[in-house]
């Protein structure tokens, strides 16, 4: 599966959200769309899912423009929206059966597929429980099962891990990673560790354009020389003096406390260059410190 984005722009009431976006997305490894709050990730995903029209531009799915031929995308799409529709009184099984009938599946096909999907998202033991008794992570997994009804080839998930505890987040992203083996999986997030764990390609959307697209490790390489660390000896309450810039973080190490700074010119003489994390590389891109 190939999804090609060509000169895509979106304006709301004359305000530009993004302009002239270009990208080539291929199946085989999840694709992470990263960007701060308000960058336009949801707007872009809604255009890719054909829920919204762009102001200009085209998106080709295996060569067909889905802006002019939305059914081409709708026929192969599984979408996990930011807010999974919530029917508290339905059991997981009832909810999925209802959605399957909306998608025109026969009762028999639906029953078989729902049983398989509940197993795939590790909810087969609780299929008869009401959604009101599910945790946030379990509801997100019901959302994934719903997105996978009718065996879509493209899965698009909008901030799927937001609000989940660390264990639920790992379960969900492992599920997305597994799906990415045989689906085109695109997920948006502002949480770098989500894409770090599963994405083979990342797109960074900021100030209306893609600042970076490529492999996560290539971004880390670009950020070499932009992250510096130095030890500090003060007690924790006095640390705030080192953290006055939003490019600095405090890190607890077995040997003591370190300040890590994203900059080309460290302020402290004793600072040593260190290997950037993906999160630091991402922040460095947003702040214009990492040369692209």
Ligand X SMILES: Nc1ncnc2c1ncn2[C@@H]1O[C@H](COP(=O)(O)OP(=O)(O)OP(=O)(O)O)[C@@H](O)[C@H]1O
Would you put residue 151 in left (φ > 0), alpha (ψ -120 to 50) or beta?
A: left
**Which 176-195 residues touch ligand X, going by CB under 6 A?**
190
17 or 223, CB closer to ligand X?
A: 17
What's the min distance (Å) between Cβ of 287 and ligand X? 18
Q: Is 91 one of the binding residues for ligand X (CB under 6 A)?
A: no
Whole-number Cα distances in Å, 272 to 5, 202, 222, 230, 252: 41, 28, 17, 6, 16
**Which 184-243 residues touch ligand X, going by CB under 6 A?**
190
Residue 177, classed as helix, strand or coil, is helix
Q: Are strands 209-214 and 199-206 parallel, antiparallel or unpaired?
A: antiparallel
234: exposed, middle or buried (Cβ count in 10 Å: 0-12, 13-18, 19+): exposed
What's the min distance (Å) between Cβ of 39 and ligand X? 4
12 or 86, CB closer to ligand X?
A: 12
Binding test (CB under 6 A) with ligand X, winner from 5, 27, 31, 40 = 40
- The 10 Å CB-count burial string (b at 16+, else e) for 253-280 is eeeebbbbbbbeebeeeebeebebbbeb
Q: Is 35 one of the binding residues for ligand X (CB under 6 A)?
A: yes
What's the min distance (Å) between Cβ of 42 and ligand X? 3
- Give me the phi and psi of 192, to 5 degrees please: -65, -35
Q: Is 86 one of the binding residues for ligand X (CB under 6 A)?
A: no
Binding test (CB under 6 A) with ligand X, winner from 3, 17, 100, 187 = 17
Binding mask 143-182 for ligand X (x = CB under 6 A): ----------------------------------------
Residues that bind ligand X (CB under 6 A): 12, 17, 35, 37-43, 190
């Amino acid at each position: 599966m190939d999804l090609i984005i060509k000169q895509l722009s979106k304006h709301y009431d004359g305000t530009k959200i993004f302009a002239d976006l270009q990208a080539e997305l291929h199946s085989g490894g999840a694709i992470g769309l990263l960007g701060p709050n308000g960058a336009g990730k949801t707007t872009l995903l809604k255009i890719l899912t054909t829920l919204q029209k762009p102001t200009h531009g085209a998106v080709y799915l295996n060569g067909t423009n889905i802006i002019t031929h939305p059914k081409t995308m709708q026929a192969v799409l599984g979408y996990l929206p930011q807010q999974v529709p919530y029917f508290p009184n339905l059991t997981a099984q009832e909810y999925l059966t209802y959605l399957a009938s909306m998608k025109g599946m026969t009762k028999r096909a639906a029953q078989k597929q729902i049983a398989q999907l509940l197993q795939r998202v590790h909810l087969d033991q609780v299929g008869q429980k009401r959604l009101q008794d599910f945790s946030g992570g379990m509801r997100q997994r019901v959302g994934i099962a719903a997105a996978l009804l009718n065996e879509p080839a493209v899965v698009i998930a909008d901030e799927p891990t937001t609000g989940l505890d660390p264990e639920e987040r790992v379960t969900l992203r492992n599920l997305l990673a597994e799906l990415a083996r045989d689906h085109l999986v695109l997920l948006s997030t502002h949480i770098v560790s989500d894409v770090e764990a599963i994405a083979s390609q990342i797109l960074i959307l900021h100030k209306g354009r893609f600042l970076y697209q490529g492999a996560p490790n290539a971004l880390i390489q670009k950020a070499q020389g932009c992250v510096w660390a130095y030890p500090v000896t003060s007690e924790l309450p006095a640390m705030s003096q080192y953290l006055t810039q939003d490019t600095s973080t405090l890190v607890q190490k077995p040997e003591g406390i370190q300040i890590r700074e994203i900059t080309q010119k460290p302020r402290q003489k004793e600072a040593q260059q260190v290997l950037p994390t993906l999160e630091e590389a991402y922040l460095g891109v947003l702040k214009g410190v990492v040369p692209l």
